[in-house]
A and B are shown apart, each in its own frame.
Chain A
Amino acid sequence: MNQWLMAGLLFTPLAWAALSLLLDFRQGRWLSWLGMLIQALVSLGLWVAVASNGGFYYALAGWEAPLGIALRVDGLAVTFVLLTAAVATACGLHAGVYLDPSKSWQRYFWPLFWFLWAGLNGVWLGADLFNLYVSLELISLSAVGLVALGGEAAALRAALRYLFAVLLGSLVYLLGVALLYGQFGTLSLTGIAAVVGADEPAAAMALLLMLAGLALKTALFPLHGWLPPAHGVAKSPVSALLSGLVVKASFYIAARLWLELGDRLGSHTLAQGIGALGAGAVIWGSWLAFRQPHLKQVVAYSSVAQIGYLFLLFPLTFAVAEPVSRLAQQGITLQVVSHALAKSAMFLAAGNLILSVRSKRVDALGGVSHYLPFSLFSFGLAGVSLMSLPPTGGFAAKWLLLQASLASGQWWWVVVLLLGGVLAAAYVFRIYRATFLEDRASDDFYHPPRSLEAIPMLLALLALGLGLVAEPVLSVLALPFEVAAEVAADVAVQP
């Protein structure tokens, strides 16, 4: 059973990527519809399997670590696999209608899309540091290809800047992996966590390098410079994928590293410092979002701000009581899920609005609220989640983070959480204000097909409803992982 699930999660995206290279855009779309159905079924199957039997280790094709690829399936991984299936399917369906089949190079969307999906699943399930690196690179290279898909000079410039940033980030991460391997002779994260002691400067240096590389790839302030051009210039379904899922992959690895090793290799200064950078991202990113003249740049800078919240994980889980750390982890997970849903909805809706008014500028939106209420409504619903008003997922996430901050006596993060919400309201309402300015007498807008309108609406409704179903979502995260014996065996194998 597990064998088929793993094959479905890792092998089918790769096979689909290779197959869709041979097809034109429309045939690739048919193939991808089938693939998305398979991914949805397999992801649900994995959930059922873990819910009934608990998490497990899986050695791909029977090759044991260190030379084989070890996979680790737990509640957190299942949460992200399901999230990826939901968001990527929505973006894939949207792209099938949105992209123009008459431009021959658009057919490369499908192979890149499937390589990206394979890399994402590889990151969620990866158990050793080197395979995480390979999966990250797979994600980066296909994401860069997707950004460059537009083909014009601005897209290429953004893609190149993006490529250089992520390549540097990967190598810095890999240097950290090299130091850890030299020190401990193992690549398994749980294996390292089992043997690492409190006072190991070389290992602490390695952790610092890895976190720095991953922060660059996640676009943590002040390393965020590459993100807004790349996410702003890409095609809307691509921007939705990049903002919704891709930046979460490197954050996920950083979070896993921190939760396993941070208590021994981290320090109070490091935790608070990363938290401060996150806070800076929230404030500075929101302010820049408020100032952007182009609609998609507003959404892209809003991603910089929302990513900032994620890094509050570091101070809120360092040297605090177990229940507080759990609250913070739950809050951050909800923030990842709700931001993925809301931001992909927002990018897709923004793409529809740009199609309608035939301009990328915010001040071209006048009259939209009158003639195109539906597109605007999805954008607004997604905005409500970013502002974290109840009952959205964003609210539930920030409520948990608020509790964690107060319980650990770090009241200063409360200020950041509240201020971030207010600033998010400012940049969302600025868009709304622009749409209510009536300067058009007649409806000369392009009306996108219903299927394009429905997908962002569905995603926005999911983000909105997430606050109401936060308990079941968090229960997936808390699924049991009962392989104490295997962890011990995994450690014993190492020389």
Chain B
Amino acid sequence: MSPDLLYALAGVVLCGIGLFGFLLLEHLLRRLLAFNLIGSGVFLVLIGLAQHRNGPDPVPQALVLTGIVVAIAATALAVVLIRRYYHLTGHTSLADDGEAQS
């Protein structure tokens, strides 16, 4: 097994852990971190798999850079929304729908 393939497999594992957290955690910040974990996993797969098949390749690295920028933008937006939501309602999760509406 080449190190590149190992990266790709680690990426898959990270995706799995992140997905697990994303679906099961209720705290909004934790879910956001889980989202970032999935993102890192996807980036590892993107680079590792391409290097494993075709050798060193600048394209996936450029893609991952763009991907990181997108992920940072999304994270920033989410943090702003979560903070504002917390200030308005005092809740840190979306689960208590009915209670917050009344």
Contact = CB atoms under 8 A, between A and B. Distances in A.
A474 B31 CA distance: 44
B85 A153 contact: yes
Contact of B97 (A130, A157, A168): A157
Contact of B73 (A133, A141, A187): A141
A160 B86 CA distance: 12
Interface core residue of A67, A130, A148, A167 (most chain B CB under 10 Å):
A167
B94 to A, nearest CB: 6
Contacts of A152: 88
A119 to B, nearest CB: 12
Interface core residue of A157, A178, A185 (most chain B CB under 10 Å):
A178
Contacts of B78: 160, 163-164, 167
B70 interface: yes
Given A67-B62, A148-B81, A181-B46, A174 B67 contact: yes
B42 A175 contact: yes
A134 B70 contact: yes
A478 interface: no
B100 A171 contact: no
A167 to B, nearest CB: 5
Interface string A153-171: 1101101110110011001
Contacts of B38: 168, 171
Nearest to B35: A167
Given A160-B78, A174-B67, A153 B49 contact: no
Contacts of A141: 73-74, 77
Contacts of B9: none
Contacts of A161: 94
Question: What is the size category of the interface that chain A forms with chain B?
Answer: 35 or more
A137 B73 CA distance: 10
A178 B46 contact: yes
Contact of B54 (A130, A164, A178, A495): A495
A495 B38 CA distance: 29
A161 B81 CA distance: 11
A160 B8 CA distance: 30
A175 B54 CA distance: 18
Given A168-B35, A182-B45, A185-B54, A157 B100 contact: yes
Interface string B71-102: 00110011001101100110000100100110
A174 B81 contact: no
B49 to A, nearest CB: 3
A213 to B, nearest CB: 11
B63 interface: yes
B86 to A, nearest CB: 9
B63 to A, nearest CB: 5
A156 B85 contact: yes
Given A141-B77, A182-B49, A156 B88 contact: yes
B63 A130 contact: yes
Nearest to A142: B77
B42 A182 contact: no
Contacts of A273: none
A163 B77 CA distance: 9
A174 B74 contact: no
Contact of B70 (A137, A144, A164, A182): A137
Interface string A224-259: 000000000000000000000000000000000000
Interface string B35-70: 100110010011001101110011110110011001
A136 to B, nearest CB: 10
Contacts of A145: 77
A109 B32 CA distance: 25
A185 B53 contact: yes
A152 B81 CA distance: 11
A178 B94 contact: no
B88 A171 contact: no
A144 B84 CA distance: 14
Contacts of A495: 54
A357 B84 CA distance: 30
Contact of B45 (A130, A167, A178): A178
A178 B42 CA distance: 7
A183 interface: yes
B10 interface: no
Interface core residue of A145, A160, A182 (most chain B CB under 10 Å):
A182
Given A130-B66, A495-B54, A167 B74 contact: yes
Given A161-B94, A178-B49, A182-B52, 12 more contacts: A66-B59, A67-B58, A137-B74, A167-B78, A168-B22, A178-B60, A179-B45, A179-B49, A181-B59, A182-B8, A185-B54, A187-B59
Interface of A: 66-67, 130, 133-134, 137, 140-141, 144-145, 148, 152-154, 156-157, 159-161, 163-164, 167-168, 171, 174-175, 177-179, 181-183, 185, 187, 495
17 contacts: A67-B58, A130-B66, A141-B73, A145-B77, A153-B85, A157-B97, A159-B81, A160-B28, A160-B81, A168-B38, A174-B67, A175-B42, A178-B45, A182-B53, A185-B50, A185-B54, A185-B57
Give the 7 A-B CB pairs with smallest separation, nearest first: A182-B49, A178-B46, A156-B85, A153-B88, A178-B45, A137-B70, A153-B89
Interface of B: 8, 15, 22, 28, 31, 35, 38-39, 42, 45-46, 49-50, 52-54, 57-60, 62-63, 66-67, 70, 73-74, 77-78, 81-82, 84-85, 88-89, 94, 97, 100-101
